[in-house]
Structure 1
Amino acid sequence: MSRATDRTPLSGRVAVVTGAARGLGAATARELDRRGARVALLGLEPQELAEVAASLRHEAAWCRTDVTDDAAMAAAATHVAARLGPASVVVANAGIAEGGPFAQSDPATWRRVIEVNLIGSATTARAFLPALLATGGTYLQVTSLAAMGTSPLMSAYCASKAGAESFAHALRAELAHEGVAVAIAYLNWIDTDMTRDSDQHAVLRELRAHMPRPARKVYPAAYAAARLVTAVERRQASVYVPAWLRAVQPVRALLPPIVTRIARTELPRIARTAPFEATGMLGAGGLADQDARDTH
């Protein structure tokens, strides 16, 4: 048992993380546990969820849950409350991505990215909002630099992250008088299966290579998770990983025309050596989502 001097603002509190089977979600679950929280892990991969839960020091729970399924998420919230208690931290991290030209994208795959990243975030908030209202807790929406800017060949991901950011802003204003904190995490490249898989596609790899040098750097998931959890502890309105992303906020309106200007010359050049093709779902998490839908 931890001594009193080892207690943190999260000691004994219940935290929920979606997309917790791997990557940033798993790293965030471990960081929350390290700081004394009891963590509920939600995702689509039962074996991976069980392994992450078993690695934690404090009592934990996990549920195989599709974040876009309202009934399943409501059941997960009931299970978490019965097993661990009411959640006072909810990290809406679940996310998938696909790449390639919009005109060639599979409509169902494109739509699914929106469903998981945007609708799934809203479903997560809806399911756990009663607990957050009761505990005066924190809802953390994980977004991306894609919410502030844009990228060719990533239309679904950019649209979903911009939508998730806007949803979180609206929710924050709606809940400000209720004592619930709503935070937004803006992330750049994090070392996850999704990022590693995107680098296997020549077009996406070339696009990242044409970003300014600081914007190309990939950060460890554990580093990003520590920043996110610190933001939760401090009830910050926003957190940026890396920190320099904060400087993008005042000039974000300039990004789309700059990206368009660069894309006008660079995309034709890239296309001569790397044909533009739809990537399908990126990363193991995206493939797990695809498998779950195919099985269903």
Structure 2
Amino acid sequence: MNDILNGKVVLVTGASSGIGEATVLALSAEGTRVAAGARRGDRLESLARKAPGEVLTLDLDVTDQESVRAAVAATVERFGALDVLVNNAGVMLSGPIAGADTTEWTRMVETNLLGSMHTVHAALPHLLEAKGIVVQVSSTSGRIASAYNGVYAATKFGVNAFSEALRQEVTAQGVRVVIIEPGFVATELAGHITDPTMRAAAGDMAASMRTLQPGDIADAVVYAVTQPEHVAVNEILIRPTDQTR
């Protein structure tokens, strides 16, 4: 257990599986009190039972601003503060731009980009008071756009741009902003893809390498948020060794 985190309050979005679930468990093991938010409440209850520390489960849909505000308010009401926000909720719906179902574009923008932005907006007054930390889970797609992932990449480029502007606005007030950019991670993310060709391609890509595990990303989050107050780890790019781009 790290004394820096002991007793701190963390809100994790997208906590019901994958990176979010692993992050809740890792931060709980470090002595934090965690608010775990997601739409799948049954999974959150199971997660809370596995966590070594106190976990508040929250019905949270980041595409709904009122849901976001309510989750932040419930976290502060339960624990009395908010020290760390981990913005992890996201969806990847790969496919070609030509002939795309643009409702999927809207879903990605509302979840990955606007959801992250609205959660920061709701949490920021408390994070400023606590001189806390914002962790933004982005992607290698926030650096390198690729065919058939244009909109997903656009949302992640947006997350990175928003995060850097946020950093410049709040760093002098003691709030640190961290961008975590994972490469290919073994999560449910690719399973959301509706295009069968793209879903198969994602499966082939996963089979071609030793993928990252959710715990690898959770370890990076723990590293970033356990630095002393004068150290700001602003960006961590983490790929599987076998991933070329």
1:64-120 deviations in whole A, cap 9, x for unaligned?
Answer: 111122222111111111112211010000000112111222111211101100000
Inter-partner Cα distance in structure 1 for 2:160 and 2:9: 24
Partner of 1:227: 220
Alignment of 1:114 onto 2:119: no
Aligned to 2:226, the other structure's residue is in SS state helix
CA distance in 2, matches of 1:207, 1:152: 13
Higher helix content, 1 or 2? 1
Structure 1: state its 5+ residue gaps: 1-5, 249-254, 256-296
1: CA distance, partners of 2:160 / 2:198: 27
Compute the displacement of 1:8 (Å): 2.7
> 2:211 is matched by which residue type in structure 1?
V
Which string of whole-angstrom CA distances, capped at 9 and with x for unpartnered residues, describes residues 221-257 of structure 1? 1122111211111241112223879xx9xxxxxx8xx
Question: For 1:188 and 1:203, how far apart are their aligned partners in 2?
Answer: 17
d(CA) in 1 for partners of 2:192, 2:210 = 16
1:66 corresponding residue in structure 2: 61
Q: Which residue of 2 aligns with 1:240?
A: 237
* Cα distance in 1, alignment partners of residues 39 and 192 from structure 2: 19
- 8 Å contact kept, 1:189–1:195: no
Measure how far apart 1:175 and its partner are: 0.7
In structure 1, distance between residues paired with 2:2 and 2:113: 35
Equivalence for 1:252 = none
CA offsets 1:10-60 (integer angstroms, 9 cap, x no match): 110001100001111000000000111110001111101111112112111
Cα 1:32–1:110 change in 2 (3 A) is same
Pick aligned residue for 1:162 from 144, 157, 162: 157
- 1:108-134 per-residue CA deviation (whole Å, 9 max, x = no partner) reads 121110110000000110111111001
* Alignment RMSD: 2.4
Quick check: 1:15–1:87 contact (8 Å CA) kept in 2? yes
Measured in 2, the distance between the counterparts of 1:21 and 1:166 equals 26
Q: CA 1:55–1:206 in structure 2 vs 1: closer, same or farther (change >3 Å)?
A: closer
Letter in 1 for 2:44: L
CA distance in 1, matches of 2:60, 2:202: 33
Contact 2:186 2:213 in 1 (8 A): yes
Per the TM alignment, residue 217 of structure 1 is displaced from its structure 2 partner at its CA by: 3.6
8 Å CA contact 1:42–1:65 kept in 2: the answer is: yes
Change (3 A) 1:206 1:127: same
How far apart are the structure 1 equivalents of 2:113 and 2:215?
Answer: 24
TM-score normalised over the length of structure 1:
0.75
Question: Aligned equivalents of 1:220 and 1:210: distance in 2?
Answer: 15
State the AA in 2 paired with 1:160.
T
Count of matched residue pairs: 239
Q: What is the alpha-carbon distance in structure 1 between the residues aligned to residue 64 and residue 146 of structure 2?
A: 29
Match of 2:76 among 59, 81, 92: 81
Partner SS state of residue 41, structure 1:
strand
Corresponding residue for residue 185 of structure 1: 180
Distance 1:14 1:210, change over 3 A: closer
The structure having more radius of gyration, on CA atoms, is 1
What's the TM-score once normalised by structure 2's chain length? 0.89
Identity of aligned residues (%): 30
